[in-house]
Amino acid sequence: MGKKGKKEKKVKGAEKTAAKMEKKVSKRSKREEEDLEALIAEFQSLDAKKTQVVETTCPPPSPRLNGSLSAHPEKDELILFGGEFFNGKKTYLYNDLFFYNIRKNTWVKSEIPNPPPPRCSHQAVVVPQGGGQLWVFGGEFASPNGEQFYHYKDLWVLHLATHTWENIKAPGGPSGRSGHRMVLSKKQLLVFGGFHESTRDFIYYNDVYSFSLDTFSWSRLSTSGSAPSPRSACQMTSTPDGMGVIIYGGYSKVRVKKDVEKGTIHSDMFLLKREGKDGQEKWSWSRLNPSGNKPPPRSGFSLAVGPAGRAVLFGGVCDEEEEESLEGDFYNDLYLYDTVKNRWFPGMLRGNKTEKKKRRRVKKGGAEGEEAEREEEEAAAPQGPTEIIKEIVTEDGTVMTIKEVIPGPEERSSQYLSTAPLIEPCPRSSAMATVRQGKLYLYGGMFEVGDRQFTLNDFYCLDLHKMDQWEVLVEMDPKTQEWLEESESEDDEEEEEAAKGAEGEEEESEEESEDEEEHPAVQEGETVTDYQNRTEQYWIGLARANMGSDAKDKKVAKVALAMAKVFYEDQHPVASP
């Protein structure tokens, strides 16, 4: 009894502390949010002028991250809503709505009167009732300079049959937040976690709320057991029987001292289970210890629910925090979690099956044929992980270096060996993902090179049954990448623009051609490796100037190699490596 009493006191003490922190954050952020409310009101007044639905065929949505991508419950369509974009100086928030027709491979922009205001890091869940509905809760709005935040606590539903938005005003819901998770569990929406941030303070949540799709009412769940610590951006998946949800990972940070914050990437797993009849449910937390190969720690991963209720996790970033810098390693790998077997496993692409058939023919020759088969497999397959580096050059000359590691034979299926290089999305975080008819769809996201952020609008598809290769639906165009460097003042920027005058573009093109002539020339008969070794110091200097003095030497060296290779291939496109 004594231990139980201590535990109860400890839980109540933690709840009081959290309540005090929430009150403190609310007071300090109130003025900020009042300023942003005026800006949000302007957006809503403009949207209020729309009186009818306007649908137009359009190109793919603009580059963005932290939006929502959902599968239509009845049609072969995907629904993309909201998101954000940052160009180095200004933050843009969206509330545009797009429908993607899977069979026709076309996009339609749907402008519907009275939509939710612009937001990102919200949650959207599709339910089949009423001809199909898209429920949207929470998210955040940011000032153009990205220094002030407004966290929504509103609930919206898009009626897909009639193409109308409705704001559901039900009391007792979660406080304003973003980075939370929301899933459908039987006839209710469950909301877990998230965070609220102001200029000076922040708070992370681990509370659970339920919204009834029958009564349109909110209730906060009273849970027992060992709950996850407060966090945002976790993976939340309903169990196949609809009697609970599974939580994996997430991110949170704490203030260790004044002006010093420390982030934590979580990799633990929990089950929230429901017991009892409707209206008399009891909810309890328990820790899960899954088997198999868990994903390495990361945040910003994309998540979806695949066939047989398997959770699908793609990409993300693992940040390395130092005293005055923050650098991250981005991923483009795929992991699946079997909710029935409580097991993680990596989603390895199989490629084509041509080698499988070839080995079967060789095997018919008895012992000698078997020996030949083994030799052929050894020659065809790499003996360990192989690192492949791809480079993409933007219009302004910035080089994006993408590293991929192809696992060795012991890490992948021995049944399939692909002779052609596999097509994969580049490493990224905060992409939008969903599954429709057993296929995973992935849109946008972002990654960083030095101090520069690249926001994507490419679009991929992967058949989760075949697991053969990614299909490119929209290819990334480096020329669409926009990045504006920060200047000391707007006056300086205006003076520079005025100084350029009418001859600015001509001078710029002359400078570019001069720069190209200054690069070390490729010598006759020189391979790319020889060229990289001979000109290494030159390209390192150029990469350092481009990435800044804070960039790590190892990353600068990789970018330098990539720049040298790109220049070499421009000069000798058919030369052998």
Query: Helices 366-380 and 354-362, interaxial angle, to 10°?
Result: 150
Q: How far apart are CA 558 and CA 566, in angstroms?
A: 12
Of the pLDDT bands very low, low, confident and very high (cuts 50, 70, 90), residue 21 is low
Containing 246, the helix (H) or strand (E) segment is strand 244-257
**pTM of the entire structure?**
0.73
- DSSP three-state, residue 364: helix
Pair 78, 159 in one domain = yes
Residue 390: pLDDT over 90: no
Specify the pLDDT at position 201.
84
Query: Helices 536-547 and 553-571, interaxial angle, to 10°?
Result: 120
Pair 446, 546 in one domain = no
Question: Which pLDDT tens digit goes with each residue over 112-138?
Answer: 999 999 999 999 999 999 999 999 999
With b meaning 16 or more CB within 10 Å and e meaning fewer, what string describes 462-476?
Answer: bebeebbbbeebbeb
Specify the pLDDT at position 418.
42
Distance of CA 66 to the CA centre of its chain: 7
Residue 241 lies in a domain: yes
**% residues pLDDT > 90 (the chain):** 52
Spatial CA neighbour of 200 closest among 148, 262, 138:
148
- The angle at the Cα of 523, spanning 522 to 524, to the nearest 5 degrees, equals 120
Q: How far apart are CA 83 and CA 455, in angstroms?
A: 11
Residue 160: pLDDT over 70: yes
DSSP secondary structure of 382-432: -SS-EEEEEEEE-TTSPEEEEEEEEPPGGGS-SS---SSPPP-PPS-BS-E
Pair 463, 562 in one domain = no
Lowest mean pLDDT segment, chosen from 200-204, 230-234, 493-497: 493-497
- At 575, list the tokens: 């030369």
Residue 551: pLDDT over 60: yes
Spatial contact of 71 and 434, defined as CB atoms under 8 Å apart: yes
Q: How far apart are CA 125 and CA 132, in angstroms?
A: 11
Domain boundary among 449, 480, 511: 480
Pair 185, 69 in one domain = yes
Question: Which pLDDT tens digit goes with each residue over 493-518?
Answer: 444 444 444 344 344 444 444 444 47
* Cα distance between the two ends of the chain: 73
Residue 355 lies in a domain: no
Q: Which domain holds residue 67?
A: 20-349+426-480
Residue 414 lies in a domain: no
- The 3 state secondary structure assigned to 127-150 is ECHHHCEEEEECCEEECCCCCCEE
Spatial contact of 95 and 118, defined as CB atoms under 8 Å apart: yes
Please list, in sequence order, all residues whose beta carbon lies within 8 angstroms of the beta carbon of residue 38, skipping any fewer than 6 positions away.
Answer: none
Pair 181, 312 in one domain = yes
Pair 473, 541 in one domain = no
Residue 110 lies in a domain: yes
CATH assignment of the domain containing 47: 2.120.10.80
Question: Which pLDDT tens digit goes with each residue over 254-283?
Answer: 888 777 888 999 999 999 999 987 778 899
Pair 476, 533 in one domain = no
Distance of CA 1 to the CA centre of its chain: 46
Question: Which pLDDT tens digit goes with each residue over 78-114?
Answer: 999 999 999 999 999 999 999 999 999 999 999 999 9
- Residue range 12-33: average pLDDT? 55
Residue 32 lies in a domain: yes
Specify the pLDDT at position 571.
73
Residue 400 lies in a domain: no
Specify the pLDDT at position 514.
40
Beta pairing class for 291-292 and 343-346: parallel
Pair 433, 565 in one domain = no
- The angle at the Cα of 63, spanning 62 to 64, to the nearest 5 degrees, equals 110
- Residue range 166-186: average pLDDT? 96
Domain boundary among 480, 509, 544: 480
CB atoms within 10 A of CB 576: 6
Pair 457, 547 in one domain = no
DSSP secondary structure of 265-307: EEEEEEEEEEESSTTS-EEEEEEE--EE-PPPS-BS-EEEE-G
Q: How far apart are CA 534 and CA 211, in angstroms?
A: 65
Pair 468, 538 in one domain = no
Residue 354 lies in a domain: no
- Give 538 or 218, the one with higher predicted confidence: 218
Of the pLDDT bands very low, low, confident and very high (cuts 50, 70, 90), residue 439 is very high
Q: How far apart are CA 82 and CA 95, in angstroms?
A: 4
Q: How far apart are CA 475 and CA 326, in angstroms?
A: 29
In total, how many domains does the chain have?
Answer: 2
Residue 136 lies in a domain: yes
Spatial contact of 359 and 396, defined as CB atoms under 8 Å apart: no
Residue 24: pLDDT over 80: no
Domain boundary among 464, 480, 496: 480
Pair 332, 436 in one domain = yes
Of the pLDDT bands very low, low, confident and very high (cuts 50, 70, 90), residue 47 is confident
Instruction: Calculate the average pLDDT of the chain.
Output: 80
Pair 444, 546 in one domain = no
Q: How far apart are CA 90 and CA 96, in angstroms?
A: 18
Distance of CA 308 to the CA centre of its chain: 23
Specify the pLDDT at position 558.
73
Of the pLDDT bands very low, low, confident and very high (cuts 50, 70, 90), residue 415 is very low
